[in-house]
Structure 1
Amino acid sequence: MATENGKDEEVGVVKIISKTKVLPHKTVEKSECPLVTFDLPYVTFYYNQKVLLYRGGDFEEIVGKLKEGLGVVLEYFYPLSGRMGKDEEGVLKVEKCGEEDAGVEVVEAIAEGVFIDELTQDEAPPLLQKIVPFTGVMNLDGLYSPLLVVQFTKLRDGIAIGCAFNHAILDGNSTWHFMSSWAEICRGSEAPSLIPFHDRTQARNIRLKLDLPESTASHDDSAVATLQSLREKIFHFSENSMDKIKAKANASLTNGSRPLSTFQSLGTHLWHAITRARTHLKPEDYTVFTIFANCRKRVNPPMPESYFGNLIQAIFTVTATGLLLAHPPEFGAGLLQQAIGAHDAKVIEARSKEWESAPKLFNYKDAGINTVTVGSSPKFPVYDVDFGWGRPEMVRSGSNNKFDGMVYLYPGRNGGRSVDVEITLEPKTMENLENDKEFLMVSD
């Protein structure tokens, strides 16, 4: 089948053979939902891109099953089938959910000569961006583009499922809730085991009209060009390595100190290593560790984990480079522990009110100077996304929303306490990191 213009479309070694639209199979009762304070700042982020790689199977049969399951799961996750729009007062919302002129775009493609192993290399191959859609597309474009685009690419020995989610509609927690539910449907379930909670006004019910940029380029025309000069690579930390990192961070705690969590221990391990690798930094230069924290259980009243939307806030921890590197890991981990623990309902409320009083749309420079910024989570069940023919060989992100110091955490494929760390850095910094035995947990 050809694309909408009737011709196959070549993209490098990837040939796009069709573009179709999938709507919820049943009529959606609610055709719109509001975008609230927790969603709106991300209008000028880019579509979140995820890629899942699977071995084997008949491509046509698999795609048919995936599209059928997608139509069912959209009955429950209906905002993904809509478009962004504005009400009569110019306030952003999701509208047209399940309507004929909206829907999820599904792209089918073929990369006949490409094997899965070429895409599972630790260093992100350039081809990766050919199998995930909407590279360089800002969430603002959801005013006239699909809020979810899925690309199924036939590989020599399997299939790649590339997804682009509008980040103004959902966060990582909701992304993997959707993916897990879609897989459940494809395995034969009649409905998701965890039904999404859609009433965003329960988390925040403030109407805000934003001063939107005229276009993506007018807000940020440098992100894609900047990314082309960076390197992206996955580092694997086994259960044993994770245990050692945590034990080291907790080894010298003073009496009465709270034990440091696995995340805090890994966080300071990454913060130290990336800061060391940035050899151009002076001791007095500030460095920032940023976390996008799930606030579902932090707000008052707490929201269910099934809350569908964005319910995250950035937590910033700042210190001087020299101070961080002069201290053992419990210093940095303690700073993270303090910042994370202090981010309670009162702080979230104050931050929300502050933003509402002067709404500001995010840009790349807002991540902080000399930053290490962590997204995703090892708790997300990314390797449990089994559509009926086995677990994915690898899960990784596309290039959107990446900059020098961006880190995505995923559970290791082998399970347990293993963690995969996907890092984007300047080439020289990455080279230094690759040779850092302390970071890699390599003994002489």
Structure 2
Amino acid sequence: MATLVTTKEENPTKVIETQITTKQDKHLKVEILNKTYVKPQKPLGRKECQLVTFDLPYIAFYYNQKLMIYKGGVDEFNDIVEKLKDGLSVILEEFHQLAGKLDKDDDGVFKVVYDDDTNGVEMVSAVAEDTEIGDLMGEEGTIKLKDLVPYNGVLNLEGLQRPLLSIQITKLKDGLVMGCAFNHAILDGTSTWHFMSSWAQICTGSKSISVQPFLDRTQARNTRVKLDLTPPAQTNGHSNGDSTPSPPPLREKIFRFSESEIEKIKAKINANPPEGSTKPFSTFQSLSTHIWHAVTRARELKPEDYTVFTVFADCRKRVDPPMPDSYFGNLIQAIFTVTAAGLLVASPPEFAAGMIQKAIDMHDAKAIEARNTEWESNPIIFQYKDAGVNCVAVGSSPRFKVYDVDFGFGKPESVRSGANNRFDGMVYLYQGKSGGKSIDIEISLEAKAMENLEKDKEFLMIQD
């Protein structure tokens, strides 16, 4: 029986004031102007979709948050909000599951239910009159960003009572911020950006979207899994006797690698392929090795300490039969690679790259089936931070064309993850703003390790 933590409903009319420690010691003040709900523009009746084994492990993660910063649009703010709502009502005819809510059937199996009486997607408009784009662009962590994106600290399980998607549009002095919170039990990164790009298509005048979502999750897995999830006992503010010390505070930072730097990393790791190797290491495998080595050095682990590398792999083309790229839902699984820290840092980079490549290659339809069957026999609901000891866990993907999401007021200046689902060693990879093969790396680490990483010339590719 899994124990889950719930949060209280937020006040929709709140004014948020967050102390920001900067050179100017500013306050970030966000005022919520309006909250409405957007539904498909046409009646769709009642539609149900069973959540499957690929979805359910994320029920105890938090809502997945994405944040995009745009220049301009201030004078047209009200018109832009209405245009976004209109486009959303059109696109939700295709992506109606995001307008639904979580529910359970009589057997306790989770499902998504949409009917014409459902509230729909939550849309919030807000203003941060004292904040400029520049104030946010230089922000490495998520403190300033936190009140620009909804549902901080809200579990996916709360989709039983909350919308499955909440969007906040905030007017700045010189731009706009779009903060989105997606229920991670409903969709993964591939589906998230499919939805976002489709919504943008409609808002820029397209009569239809280029790729329809594939909505039947049971084509990928049709096993019915009952989950008995129980919220924690109420403590009325008193200690529950848990003496576990709080984890050290985390720091977050973005490291931006140009196309030429990515190519150098890849070339270096492919310069000495392991004996018997039949294919080169990919950009992802090469960059992952670069990050894993650097974070392990930064943590100053003992040689005998284990370190885990985790990647959330897209299984759409790995399952049998393969699913289309447009499959809407979660179709990812975590793949783990473990070794001793001393062996990792003492070995040439192709050693780690070979382990990562082998783990990814071995995760075929047979391995996925075995993982699903094992989990279904004993469902374990992991928390977002259960990725492994001394872990480096990579999420998102530079393949997602996040800087092409243009709703008619320009492409984003920056794309970020929110504060949810971050732990020591969590890494998000994004397409770089400069385009090409450039990649932005968001890393969360304990403060001392981050300090070491910031000085690591090998990681930063600084020549002496």
**Which bracket does the TM-score occupy, shorter chain normalised?**
over 0.9
2:423 maps to 403
1:251 corresponds to which of 271, 284, 293: 271
1:256: Cα distance to partner? Answer: 4.3
Equivalent residues of 2:167, 2:181 under 8 A apart: yes
Separation of aligned partners in 2, 1:248 and 1:26: 55
Separation of aligned partners in 1, 2:10 and 2:379: 40
1:53 maps to 69
Equivalent residues of 1:236, 1:421 under 8 A apart: yes
2:199 maps to 182
Where in structure 2 are the equivalents of 1:258-337 lying within 5 Å? 258-279=279-300, 281-337=301-357
Separation of aligned partners in 1, 2:167 and 2:274: 51
Inter-CA distance 271–195: structure 2 relative to 1 (3 Å threshold): same
1:159 corresponds to which of 167, 176, 200: 176
1:9: Cα distance to partner? Answer: 2.2
Partner amino acid, structure 2, of 1:56: G
**Structure 2: gaps spanning 5 or more residues:** 1-8, 18-28
More displaced 10-residue stretch of structure 1: 359-368 or 192-201: 359-368
- Matched residue of 1:126: which SS? coil
1:388: Cα distance to partner? Answer: 1.1
> How many equivalent residue pairs?
435
Say if 2:414 is the partner of 1:394. Answer: yes
Partner amino acid, structure 2, of 1:10: V
1:118: Cα distance to partner? Answer: 1.1
Equivalent residues of 2:314, 2:333 under 8 A apart: yes
TM-score (norm 1): 0.95
2:112 corresponds to which of 58, 78, 94: 94
Inter-CA distance 288–300: structure 2 relative to 1 (3 Å threshold): same
Identity of aligned residues (%): 62
Inter-CA distance 421–6: structure 2 relative to 1 (3 Å threshold): closer
1:213 corresponds to which of 202, 215, 230: 230
1:99: Cα distance to partner? Answer: 2.6
1:98: Cα distance to partner? Answer: 4.6
Inter-CA distance 117–228: structure 2 relative to 1 (3 Å threshold): farther
1:10 maps to 15
- Matched residue of 1:69: which SS? helix
Following TM superposition, the consecutive aligned residue runs of length 4 or more in structure 1 with deviations greater than 3 angstroms are 4-8, 215-218, 225-228
1:62 maps to 80
Partner amino acid, structure 2, of 1:371: C
1:33 corresponds to which of 49, 59, 65: 49
Inter-CA distance 245–30: structure 2 relative to 1 (3 Å threshold): farther
2:5 maps to none
1:184: Cα distance to partner? Answer: 0.3
Inter-CA distance 108–320: structure 2 relative to 1 (3 Å threshold): same
1:121 corresponds to which of 138, 160, 168: 138
Equivalent residues of 1:140, 1:216 under 8 A apart: no
- Matched residue of 2:111: which SS? strand
Partner amino acid, structure 2, of 1:421: I
- Cα RMSD, aligned residues only: 2.0
Inter-CA distance 226–119: structure 2 relative to 1 (3 Å threshold): farther
Partner amino acid, structure 1, of 2:104: K
Say if 2:435 is the partner of 1:419. Answer: no
**Structure 1: gaps spanning 5 or more residues:** none
Higher helix share: 1
1:129: Cα distance to partner? Answer: 0.2
Equivalent residues of 1:82, 1:99 under 8 A apart: no
Separation of aligned partners in 2, 1:369 and 1:45: 18
1:8-38 residue CA offsets vs partner (Å, 9 max, x unmatched): 4211100011111101111225522110000
Inter-CA distance 275–9: structure 2 relative to 1 (3 Å threshold): same
Say if 2:157 is the partner of 1:136. Answer: no
1:44 corresponds to which of 60, 72, 81: 60
- Matched residue of 1:127: which SS? coil
2:36 maps to 20
Partner amino acid, structure 2, of 1:66: L
1:253: Cα distance to partner? Answer: 1.4
Equivalent residues of 1:177, 1:306 under 8 A apart: yes
Partner amino acid, structure 2, of 1:161: M
Separation of aligned partners in 2, 1:327 and 1:5: 50
Inter-CA distance 301–336: structure 2 relative to 1 (3 Å threshold): same
Equivalent residues of 1:297, 1:303 under 8 A apart: yes
1:5: Cα distance to partner? Answer: 11
